[in-house]
């Protein structure tokens, strides 16, 4: 009897599983080829499908915005390399939502054996055993998973939100802050909660114009406009 392989889905804070793969931009080795880079690894159910087509057009037009954030894009589906190539060529012929002549320059992984998809929990049997779900993994330069998003097949992803997440994570890492609900770049940020009664009292009585508190546990830093 053939042994069934089981996979544990990686979680936030885990090292991203390593892999080697054939892609539309040549072979890649992850994470070795992406040292010092942020990475967005995302899967889609199938080539030549409507929602996926709009997603790839959108991601491709935003590729330079992500590069400016030191972030590389890697796509994946369980289709063949030749299917990928044919689909990406067809995308260049399409026009939608103000986008046309879109060239997808980031790598799209061929994963016919579902090896990478299984490592990342992208195949979810209750949804489909032959297609990957719409998964998004935001991975930092140390190859640590920082964000995981999953979408059903019927719902296209919000790519502005994916970019917002990268910006927020990078700012949090650089400045040791947190970002409040619906935060956008340039808006005020949350500073770490006071760790003692003394610091809490000091903050509540502070006249520092750069910081303000709604209460001792919820304090903000004003961002320069």
Question: Domain limits of the chain?
Answer: 19-157, 176-225
- Position 66 scores a pLDDT of 98
Percent of the chain residues past pLDDT 70, beyond the cut:
92
Provide CB contacts within 8 A for 144, sequence distance 6+.
13, 14, 15, 16
Residue 130 has pLDDT above 90, yes or no: no
- Residue 84: pLDDT over 70: yes
Question: Could you confirm whether 197 is annotated as catalytic?
Answer: no
Mean pLDDT of 155-167: 97
Residue 132: what pLDDT?
A: 64
Q: Is 184 annotated as ligand-binding?
A: no
C-alpha 216/C-alpha 208 separation (Å) is: 14
pLDDT at 2 over 60: no
Choice among 52, 197, 213, 219 that is catalytic = 52
Cβ(27)–Cβ(21) below 8 Å = yes
Mean of pLDDT values over 174-203: 92
The encoded tokens of residue 129 equal: 């055993």
Is 19-157 assigned to CATH 3.40.30.10?
yes
pTM to 2 decimal places? 0.91
Q: Give me the pLDDT at residue 195, please.
A: 82
Q: What are phi and psi of 199, to 5 degrees?
A: -65, -40
* CATH code 3.30.1020.10 for 176-225: yes
Express each pLDDT in 165-188 by its tens digit.
999 999 999 999 999 999 999 999
């Amino acid at each position: 009897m053939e042994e069934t392989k089981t996979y544990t889905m990686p979680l936030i804070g885990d090292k991203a599983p390593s892999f080697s793969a054939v892609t539309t931009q040549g072979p890649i080795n992850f994470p070795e080829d992406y040292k010092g880079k942020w990475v967005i690894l995302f899967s889609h159910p199938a080539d030549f499908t409507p929602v996926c087509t709009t997603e790839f057009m959108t991601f491709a037009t935003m590729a330079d915005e992500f590069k400016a954030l030191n972030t590389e894009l890697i796509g994946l589906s369980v289709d063949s390399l030749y299917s990928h190539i044919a689909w990406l060529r067809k995308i260049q012929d399409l026009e939608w939502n103000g986008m046309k002549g879109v060239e997808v320059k980031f790598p799209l992984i061929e994963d016919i054996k579902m090896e990478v998809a299984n490592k990342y929990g992208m195949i979810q049997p209750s949804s489909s055993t032959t297609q990957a779900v719409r998964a998004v993994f935001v991975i930092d330069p140390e190859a640590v998973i920082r964000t995981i998003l999953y979408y059903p097949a019927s719902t296209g992803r919000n790519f502005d939100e994916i970019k917002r997440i990268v910006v927020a994570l990078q700012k949090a890492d650089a400045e040791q802050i947190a970002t409040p609900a619906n935060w956008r770049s340039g808006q005020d940020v949350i500073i770490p909660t006071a760790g003692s009664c003394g610091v809490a009292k000091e903050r509540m009585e502070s006249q520092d114009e750069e910081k303000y508190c709604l209460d001792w546990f919820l304090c903000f830093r004003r961002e320069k406009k």
